[in-house]
Amino acid sequence: MTRTFLRCKIHRATVTEANVDYEGSITIDRDLLDAAGLLPYEKVEIYNVTRGTRFETYAIEGKAGYGEICVNGAAARLVEVGDLVIIACYCALEPCEIEGHRPTLVFVDRENRIKSVKQAETASTISV
């Protein structure tokens, strides 16, 4: 049996664009994708800190260094430019993988420039 854990997150990114006419997804600056370890087309969950809305979609690659966080498609109706969002990705772990698991946490400023990248504490205190 696997259990689901946070794999990585981009914390409090600022939405730079909302494009309802696009097919769907969230465009994320390539530098942020790399820092978090996210791949294009990987499933992500978006938590809008400003509005309290939540949704899931997939990541697509934006240009590196531009700070782009663009919510596309129908989900664009759940955000406004300037909203703060958390972009999270999860993984399924076998019990033997849990103890050493350390999610990657990417912290950004208001322009979506990386302030720091940290590995969270391990889940070693959890009994499986």
Catalytic residues: 25, 58
Q: Which two tokens stand for residue 23?
A: 């097919």
Burial 48-78 (b: 16+ CB within 10 A, else e): beeeeeebebebbbbeeeebbbbbbbebbeb
On whether the CB atoms of residues 117 and 35 are closer than 8 A, the answer is yes
State the sign of the Cα–Cα–Cα–Cα dihedral 68, 92, 107, 37. Answer: negative
Asked if 1 contacts 96 with a C-beta cutoff of 8 angstroms, the reply is no
Q: Would you say 83 and 14 are in contact if contact means Cβ atoms under 8 Å apart?
A: yes
